[in-house]
Amino acid sequence: MATPHVLTHARGQLHTDRLAGSAPGRRFGPLRTSLLVGATAALTFTVLPGTASAVPGNATTADQAAAQVAEAEHQLEVVAEQLNEAKVVLAEHQDAARAAAEDSAAAEGRLDELDGHIRQVARSAYTGSRMSELDVLLTSTSVEDMVSSIGTLDAIAGHTSKVLGEVALAAENAEESREAADAAASEAERAIDEIAAQQADLEARIADYQRQYDALSAPQQAVVAQAHGGADSQPMPTQVVAASGAAQVAVDTALAQVGDPYVWGAGGPNAFDCSGLTAYAYAAAGVSLPHSSRSQAQMGQSVPVDQLQPGDLLFFYSPTSHVAMYIGNGQMVHASTSTQPVKVASFNAMKGDFTHARRIAG
């Protein structure tokens, strides 16, 4: 069998994509703080599982070896989906950093604008022959003229005070934006380093898993496939009718990918992992989903299993690490495992690991 693709490009891509569009030292404005906190809280990683339980050499029988390889494959998918989730969180950091840079630039522009305005007000208020109330008293030709002139000076002074207040507030907001963006940038850098370390370990595990899998006999390889979505693909349905136009497009798009290879971290158009397939299918329907089974598990509305409709997303394991799309009649389409291409399978084959379903459209 072909060696599965690995995420060799991801580390370089993450580093080249870091905080694109934001200048060094820029920071989030106060309105970005909640996003920063939320993204930081979401950026957690499960420690990679130990290798002992996943090495066939520790098994005493061929069946045990096959079972251990199947478990290793599931562990790899768990880590791969954690990487997908981390990329989603990093994208949120980057979007917020870009917005913070825009906010900070706007604040700086406002400071420049107000600085020029203050100079103009100062010149009009404190130059010329009528620069003080004493001048007004000495030069007014009547009581009415004096009252009018003093009122004008008071208005100028009040306006100047208001403008100065706006300048101070703008300066404070700009500084807060810079401080928050700097904290977010540091957090994003830490996340990138942690992702890179996890990815290196994942790549080594993928290579080791491939070696293990290749050493198995055909029947043992079938055991591995059976453990993750069924050994045998089911025939394509003749017709699937969804409850909405968006769901119909998503189902049709997912089914059109049947036969494409499973690739960790891939989101199409010619290879997919589980969340990459569902995100790709719904993108064709104009619905944006994050490339992460854990994030997708929070989208849409909860659906009881007895009310499933074509297009609903099915989630498996706890914490969530696999997603499939229901297509009706007890069937689903999914990118199941590196040993199998995108395929139609029986929902019952994985029902023991099923946790919940979400309706994205319909």
Q: Is 284 exposed, middle or buried (0-12, 13-18, 19+ CB in 10 A)?
A: middle
Closest CA to 348 of 300, 292, 308, 318: 308
Catalytic residue among 74, 228, 291, 322: 322
Compute the radius of gyration of the chain from its Cα atoms: 31
Spatial contact of 259 and 277, defined as CB atoms under 8 Å apart = no
Closest CA to 272 of 84, 15, 61: 84
Q: How many CA atoms lie within 13 A of 217 on its CB side?
A: 6
C-alpha dihedral, 22 to 46 to 289 to 8, nearest 10°? 70
Q: What is the identity of the amino acid at 177?
A: S
User: Can you give the length of the chain in residues?
Assistant: 362
322 is catalytic: yes
Spatial contact of 197 and 48, defined as CB atoms under 8 Å apart = no
Catalytic residue among 74, 228, 274, 291: 274
What is the DSSP track for 204-236? HHHHHHHHHHHTS-HHHHHHHHHTTT-SSPPPP
Q: Which residues on neighbouring strands pair with residue 326, listed in sequence order?
A: 332
Quote the tokens at residue 49.
Answer: 């599982």
DSSP 96: H
C-alpha dihedral, 347 to 351 to 354 to 356, nearest 10°? 60
Cis peptide bond N-terminal to 319, omega within 30 = yes
H runs (alpha helix) in the chain: 10-16, 33-42, 62-126, 133-139, 143-214, 218-226, 245-256, 274-284, 293-296
356 is catalytic: no
334 is catalytic: yes
What is the DSSP track for 348-360? GGGGGGEEEEEE-
Q: Which residues are catalytic?
A: 274, 322, 334
